[in-house]
Structure 1
Amino acid sequence: MPRFMGFVRMEEGVGTPPQSLFDAMDAYIGERAANGTFLDGGGLYGTEDAVNFIVRDGTVSRVDGPYAEAKEVVGGWSLLQYDSLEDAVADQQAFADLHAQHWPEASIVATLRQVQDEPPVPEG
């Protein structure tokens, strides 16, 4: 059964979502956890305590948050499992619809990506 990673990107510092979205998400996630679709997930704190390790030209440098240049951050994630890509896309649409309905003043991007079950084979 294909697995997917869902991400929610939004503006940093947009504020706390309304209670109605929390309530709707509790029901949404509860249904999907019960039927085996939702495997794990959660919200993320802001970038004030984030740490990035940047690899460039064979060297590693550490950059601590907050990041003044960050306009959009990942605010939440989920690991999901569906019978098909079509089912995953339809459910991600329902997830985005919940946000549009309960938090219309926020701009978010709900991204869905399929998880590779096998590592890629190196070229050469």
Structure 2
Amino acid sequence: MPRFMGFVKMAEGIGTPPKALFDAMDVYIGERAASGVFLDGGGLYGTEDAVNFVVSGGEVTQHDGPYAEAKEVIGGWSLLKYDTVEEAVADQRRFAELHAEHWPEVTVISTLRQISDGPEVPED
């Protein structure tokens, strides 16, 4: 059964979502958890305490948040399991529609990516 990662990207510092969205998401996630689709997930704090490690030229540097150049940040994530890719895409659309319905004044990007069972190791 394919597994997927869902991400929600939005502008930093846009405030707390309305209670109606929280209520709708409780129902949505509860149904998917009961059916075994929703495995785990949650919201993320802002970048004020984030830490990035950048690898470049064989060196590692640490960059602490907040990041003034960040226009959009990942605000939440989910780990999901579906029978088919088509089912996953349709359900991610429903997730996005809940945001459009209950928090229409913000721009949210809902991303779905399939998790690799790899890694695909290069041959010598």
TM-score (norm 1): 0.98
**Deviation digits for residues 37-79 of structure 1 (CA, Å, limit 9, x no counterpart):** 0000000000000000000010000000000000100000000
**Which residue in 1 is equivalent to 2:5?**
5
Q: What are the ranges of 5 or more consecutive residues in structure 2 without an aligned counterpart?
A: none
The alignment's C-alpha RMSD in Å is 0.7
Extract structure 1 runs of 4+ deviating beyond 4 A: none
Corresponding residue number in structure 2 for 1:100: 100
Unaligned runs of 5+ in 1: none
Query: 1:72-111 counterparts in 2 under 5 A?
Result: 72-111=72-111
Shift of 1:123: 4.6
Residue 122 of structure 1 and its aligned partner are, at CA, apart by: 1.7
Correspondence 1:30-109 to 2 at 5 A = 30-109=30-109
TM-score by length of 2: 0.98
Percent identity, please: 73
Alignment length (residue pairs): 124
